[in-house]
């Protein structure tokens, strides 16, 4: 039993490292045009996938580390944005992975519930961090700035996430690489 847990932990750690590497590299695809990168949100995809496949702990850590590491290595995003993104992506990873792994049936419906809740929660965390940071810097953070940056500019990225992530998870389920979990009737009766 301990050998199986060790093997699972090593497997998840390797996958989390791969998702972290993807989070560092994907922004280069849109890096030449910053407006497109801000709209497609390329760092979000690996964080969501990491949390759904490896668990909320891995997703939260990868989400927190990715923007800070990218800022340290490549100078982008700028420090203020990187700190706010670190908390935002950590919330995405933590919320999505927690809700998805706690659902009775891991299916597309549970996947959408987890993604939508994480998107709302992550944006609230991002706004809270920005309010604190702008309060220290004496720069106002208005409701209009929040709506523009968190929603209006992010619509293409949100659509991409809501289409790509479920399609990829279904494909992984069909190939047997990552299985949707379904609670059995006998297991439910035994738990009562």
Q: Which of 109, 119, 113, 111 is nearest to 89 (CA)?
A: 119
Cβ(132)–Cβ(83) under 8 Å? no
User: What's the distance, CA 14 to chain centroid?
Assistant: 17
* pLDDT score, position 6: 84
Segment 104-137, tens digit of pLDDT: 888 999 999 999 999 999 999 999 998 888 876 6
Taking the CA atoms of 127, 94, 68 and 54 in sequence, report the sign of the dihedral they define: negative
DSSP 3-60: HHHHHHHHHHHHHHHHHHHHHHHTHHHHTTSHHHHHHH-TTHHHHHHHHHHH-HHHHH
Q: What predicted TM-score, i.e. pTM, was given to this entire model?
A: 0.87
Of the CA atoms within 13 Å of residue 52, those in its CB half-sphere come to: 30
Residue 98 has pLDDT above 80, yes or no: yes
């Amino acid at each position: 039993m301990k050998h199986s847990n060790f093997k699972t932990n090593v497997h998840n750690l390797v996958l989390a490292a791969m998702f972290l590497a993807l989070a560092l590299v994907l922004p280069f695809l849109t890096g030449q045009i910053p407006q497109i990168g801000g709209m497609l949100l390329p760092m979000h995809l690996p964080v969501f996938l990491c949390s759904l496949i490896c668990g909320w702990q891995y997703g939260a850590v990868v989400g927190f580390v990715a923007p800070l590491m990218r800022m340290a290595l490549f100078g982008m995003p700028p420090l203020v944005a990187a700190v706010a993104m670190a908390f935002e992506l950590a919330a995405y990873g933590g919320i999505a992975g927690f809700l998805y792994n706690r659902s009775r049936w891991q299916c597309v419906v549970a996947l959408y519930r987890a993604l939508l809740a994480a998107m709302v929660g992550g944006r609230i965390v991002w706004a809270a961090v920005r309010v604190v940071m702008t309060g220290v810097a004496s720069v106002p953070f208005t409701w209009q700035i929040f709506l523009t940056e968190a929603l209006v500019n992010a619509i293409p990225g949100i659509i991409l996430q809501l289409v790509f992530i479920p399609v990829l998870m279904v494909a992984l389920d069909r190939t047997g690489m990552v299985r949707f979990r379904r609670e059995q009737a006998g297991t439910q009766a035994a738990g009562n």
